[in-house]
Every structure is written in C-alpha cells, then in structure tokens.
Chain A
Amino acid sequence: MRDLTLVAVLVLFAAGLAGVVFSQDRRKRVMALFFLQSSAVFLFVSLGYRQGGRPPLFTLMAEGGPMALPSAQAMATSFLILSSVTVALLLALAFFLPRREGTIRGERKGRSR
C-alpha cells in the first residue's frame, strides 16, 4: 500500500517538475506547481503512516501505541491550504498579465541583472 502511495507521489512529482521546467505558458506552469505541491504533501502524510498505529489525534496520545506526529500531519494540511491560496494568486496574476502584454507565454523580458 505504501509503495503504491510512493509511486503516486513520484508520478505527481515528475509531471509537476516537467511542467514547471518545460512549459512556457504561465497557466500551465501554475498547474504544474500545484502537482508538485500536492506530491510533497502526499509524501509527507504517507511517510507519517505507522503500521498498526492510531489516528494522529492529540486526545489519543495518552493511550499509547504507535502514532504519527499529530502537529506535523495537521500542518501538512495547512500547507495544502497555503498551496491552494498561492496557486489562486498565481492564476489571478497569470490571467491578468496577458491583458497587459498581449500574450499568454511567459518569456522573461531580458531585464539585465
């Protein structure tokens, strides 16, 4: 089961990385980023899995037994929320920019740095 999860993480990561690196369209780059973010959270949550363990809840900690760290699991979910907001803002910018530039492609303008 865990191996399957890791395969899913790998597939999501590869798809996301390919999109981020190779795509010129800003909107596709944003969606590829969302793939990357989801794969990272998926990996984080799945690595917390404990064979025969309890759900990661603070109230169950007193009963003992194997358990993933509840705060880390909760914060991984927070990261997912942050990812969604980041993607929303990036998409808003990606849709707004073409109105100004006349193209959806995101080549940099060659500003000197």
Chain B
Amino acid sequence: MDWQSHLPVLLVALPLTGALVFPFFASGGRTIRRLGILLSAAVVLALTGLLWQKVATEGPLLYVVGGAAWNLPLPPGLSFPPRIVLFIDAFSVVGLGGPALLFLAGSFAWAGETQGDSRTEGLAGMFYLLAFASILAMTVTGDLLSLILFFGLFSLSLAGTTALSGRKQALEIAFEGLHFWAVFSVLALFGLALIYGRHNTVNMSALAGVLQFGLVEKVALGLIVALLLTRCGAFPVHFPLFDYLQEATPSTACLLIAGAQGGFYSLMRVLFSVYGSPLGSVPIGWGLIVSGAFAVFFGLALPLLNRPLRMLPAFVFLVQVGTALIGIGAGLACLGDVRAMADFGMTALRGGVAQVVLAFPASALLCLASTSLLGDEETAGFSAVVRARLLLFFLFAGWLLAGLPPFVGFVPKLLLHESLFALNPVLGALSLAASIAMAALMTRAFYALSLSTKQSHRGLNRLPLGVLLSMGLLTTVFFVFSFLPVWMLSYVIDPAINALLDQGGFMMILRGGGM
C-alpha cells in the first residue's frame, strides 16, 4: 500500500506525537529541544507540500480514522459515516499551507528565544507543538465535533504557551483568553448537540446533504459561527486575540496568526460547504461585512489618533482580519444570486481568501520585526546597525500590508477594491480609504521607529539567528510570490475557491467522490 495514502493522518499524528514526547526529551539539552521543534515544523511543511501535489494530481483525499479500510467512510448498510473522517481538497491545502509556513517561521523564532530552564522549556515546547497540531487537525477534520474539540485544545495550548512566556501581563491574558474561548466552545457544542439530536451525525459532508435550514440549524449556525469568529479575531469578539498579540513573543505571534488562519478556514468551510446556498438569502454575509468594516475602522482610527507602538501589530492585524471578513462576507451575500456571484461575488471571495493567504503571514512578519525592534523590559536593545536591518523587514511588511505594488500584497486589495465597489459603492470607498490609511499608519510607525534612539546606545550588535531566519523565510516567500501573482491566483487561490463553492462535490465525497 502506498504510504502517501496516510498523509492526512500523518500530518496531524506526527506533531501530536512530537508534543507528547517532547517533555521527556527536553532534559536532553537545549540543542535537542530546538532540533525537535524545527524538525517537526520542517516535516509538517514537507507533508503539506506532498499533500498539495497529491490533491492537484489526484483530486480530493479522504481518510477514515480507525476503520478497517482507510478509504471506506460508509460501510454497507449505513447512511452516515460512523467514524471520524479526514478530508482534504484544494481549499484544505490552502488552509494548511499558511499555518505550515508560519509553523516553520515560528519555530525558528522559538529556537532563538530564551524560554528558561529545561522543565519550562519542555512544557513550552509541548504546548507549542500541541497548538500547531490542533490547527492542522482543525483544517483536515471532516466532522464538526472534532473541530470544536481541537479548537478547545488549541485554546488550551495557546494559553499555556502565553502563560510560560514570562511577559508582564501574560498570566492574566492567558486566563481571560482561555476562559472566554472555553465559554464560546461550550455554546458551540450546545449548537452542535441540537444538530446531532436532529440528524444523528456530526460529519460535515453528511450534514451538508441533510440540513434543512430550520430554526435548530439557524441557532446552531449562530453559535458555531460565533465560536469561529472569536478564533479569527473578528470584531466585536476580537479582544482575547488582540490582548494575546500585544504580549506575544515572536514565536507566539506566528502561532496566533496561524490560529486565525485556521479559524478563517473553518469559518468558510462551515458557511460555504456545510450550509452553502441557503445562506445567500439570509443576512449573515452582511453581518460579516459590518463586522469587518468596524474592525477596519477601529483598527486604523485608534492607532492613527495615538496609541503605543507596542499595540501596532495587534491593530494592524485587526485591520487585516476585517478586510478578509469583508471579502468573504461579500462572497457569501452573493451566494444565492448566480449573476451577482459571477459579476463580483467570486472576485470578492478571491480577494478574501487571498487576503488570508497573503496578508496574515505579512502581519506575522510585521509582528516579528516590531517585537524585536521594541524589545521588552528584560532584554537589552539592539545597536543602530541591527535596528536598521530590522527596519528593512518592518518596511517590507508595511509595504505588503498597505497593498502597494510591486510586492504581492496588492493582489487581495485590488480584487477587493474592484468587487466591493460593484456590491456597494460605500464599501468600495471604505476599502480604498483603508488602504490609504494603512499606508499612512505604516509611514508614521516607520518614522517613529527609525527616529527612536531610546535603546540604540545599549547595543546588542547581533540579531538572534532564530528571529533573523524566521523573518528571512517569510520575506523570501513573499519575494517569490511577488514575481508570480498570476500563477498564485491561478494555481493556489482559484482551485481553492472552486473546491469551496462545489458543495455538490463536498456531499458526494462520502459516496466515493474521494480517492
């Protein structure tokens, strides 16, 4: 049997196993701990690449966990799959790519950070691996209950990672965030219980075929979407993620942003693949647009008025989340209207997905650069030469996030500008104003950071290798994509959108549609 048939489960099982054995190897020394984290991240990225190639050549993949046959989701005589099914199509691969890249970037940063003694570092590494394994599991899982379960595991690991970071407010933020997410998880579980009680299944593909969109389904949708919006960092439930980002170390920032990417992936999967076309006739798309518009407004207005520079990455990320939500909401609002979907809905959706794929890692780059530039109270600052290098990374990230050509950051912004104007001119104007305001914000922040001499005389002359490699990796990826914007749209974004909108294919996957 071809070992690559087991890629979907290996992608989750390897980092999960790594997380469980990490504390036992942690006493082996600093080098072993760093190698363990880096090796896990590299393996996950390689497996994601293999999955990408396999899905591109063979179509969607299916994997039955624990069954007699890995490719038999429906044993004879059953109408619903009795076991957990992993499902990977072109959209899932895009959902995996971002977190896998951020996993490697974050692991470089993790390796460069001082975590403390071997016991603390063992725990921190375990939580770190567990969090990334949860994101990957959220992306490949085919049922809603395990989605909520892995969501809970991610929140737990994130809180553990943050609590161990040693930052001033870390404990309080970890407590409040975990408590908040746990309450929303419970509410989502209530919603899912209602669906389970009615349909006796929690499998996404099976549910897509039987959901009637009655009152029970609407209540469940509201509760599950609320949970996923908290993970995305959407307004008005943005504050746990916002607080976490303010106190994040470089590696935790990568983790948080990868988690938000996973949240967006799950949100789109539930909205488009599980519920699908009935949502075009209800105002949930406009709800997402309004939420996104508020996020963009507050994310730009508050830092432009006056806020500490330490809060800048959190505000910038809030704007990126808002922009993505506007694009996805616009696509969802057009779902019931074939003509509107063809005219501008599809373009808006492409813009929304491209925003998640491109602007989120760019936000991670900004976090890495600004966290290193600002330092914290326990660490000494960098010398002027090192600060100048960091400022180059900061400038590059700002350039990408403002959507200025020639770098690839302009792609989602351009798609969103042209489609949102067709949906509603006010949205088009907001989108344009947001890009201009983001450029102004980045200029102001760059000005403030480059003129700051507060720490330059204290002087570390060398940037930690881990952080440098982390920023270098993300910068290289963006440089490569900047030469290939059309290729990226044609071979990455468009197949993902087509897979996402193919609800019929998603329903058929259990009946032999997968490989």
Chain A residues with CB under 8 Å of chain B are 13, 20, 26, 29-30, 33, 36-37, 39-41, 43-44, 47-48, 58, 61, 64, 68-72, 75-76, 78-79, 82-83, 85-86, 89-90, 93-94, 96-97, 100-101, 106, 108-109, 111-113
Contacts and interface: CB of A to CB of B under 8 A. Distances in A.
Contacts of A29: 179
Nearest to B197: A47
A88 to B, nearest CB: 10
A20 B243 CA distance: 20
Interface residues of B, number: 47
A75 B179 contact: no
B507 to A, nearest CB: 18
A82 B82 contact: no
A70 B193 contact: no
Given A69-B200, A76-B145, A113-B242, A36 B186 contact: yes
Contacts of B143: 71
Given A48-B196, A69-B200, 19 more contacts: A26-B175, A30-B179, A33-B183, A36-B186, A40-B193, A43-B193, A44-B192, A48-B197, A68-B200, A69-B201, A71-B145, A75-B84, A82-B149, A83-B152, A89-B156, A89-B159, A93-B171, A112-B311, A113-B311
15 contacts: A33-B186, A40-B193, A47-B193, A69-B200, A71-B82, A71-B202, A75-B145, A76-B145, A79-B148, A89-B160, A93-B174, A97-B171, A101-B172, A111-B169, A111-B243
Contact of B156 (A30, A69, A76, A82): A82
A20 B159 CA distance: 19
A101 B168 CA distance: 12
List 4 tightest A-B contacts by C-beta distance, closest first: A47-B197, A40-B189, A93-B175, A44-B193
B182 A64 contact: no
A95 B77 CA distance: 53
B187 to A, nearest CB: 8
A72 B202 contact: yes
Contacts of A109: 169, 172
Nearest to B298: A113
Nearest to B160: A89
A8 B148 CA distance: 23
Nearest to B67: A58
A69 B171 contact: no
B339 to A, nearest CB: 40
Contacts of B196: 44, 47-48, 69, 72
Given A48-B196, A79-B152, A108 B176 contact: yes
B145 A97 contact: no
Contacts, number: 118
A36 to B, nearest CB: 5
B190 interface: yes
Contacts of A94: 175
A43 B307 CA distance: 45
B162 to A, nearest CB: 10
A112 B314 CA distance: 12
Contacts of B186: 33, 36-37, 39-40
Contacts of A82: 149, 152-153, 156
A86 B193 contact: no
A108 B196 CA distance: 37
Nearest to B163: A93
B215 interface: no
A85 B156 contact: yes
A27 B69 CA distance: 47
Contact of B149 (A33, A36, A69, A75): A75
A59 to B, nearest CB: 11
A45 B149 CA distance: 15
B75 interface: yes
Contact of B189 (A58, A64, A79, A113): A79
B297 interface: no
B83 interface: yes
Contact of A86 (B172, B178, B189): B178
A64 B77 contact: yes
A113 B81 CA distance: 45
Given A37-B186, A43-B190, A44-B193, A58 B152 contact: no
Contacts of B145: 71-72, 75-76, 79
B193 A90 contact: no
A33 B179 contact: yes
Contacts of B189: 40-41, 44, 79
Interface in B66-114: 75, 77-78, 80, 82-84
Chain B CB within 10 Å — which of A40, A43, A58, A106 has the most?
A: A40
Interface in B487-502: none
A5 to B, nearest CB: 12
A75 B146 contact: yes
A7 to B, nearest CB: 16
A33 B182 contact: yes
Contact of B75 (A13, A61, A106): A61
B421 interface: no
B126 to A, nearest CB: 13
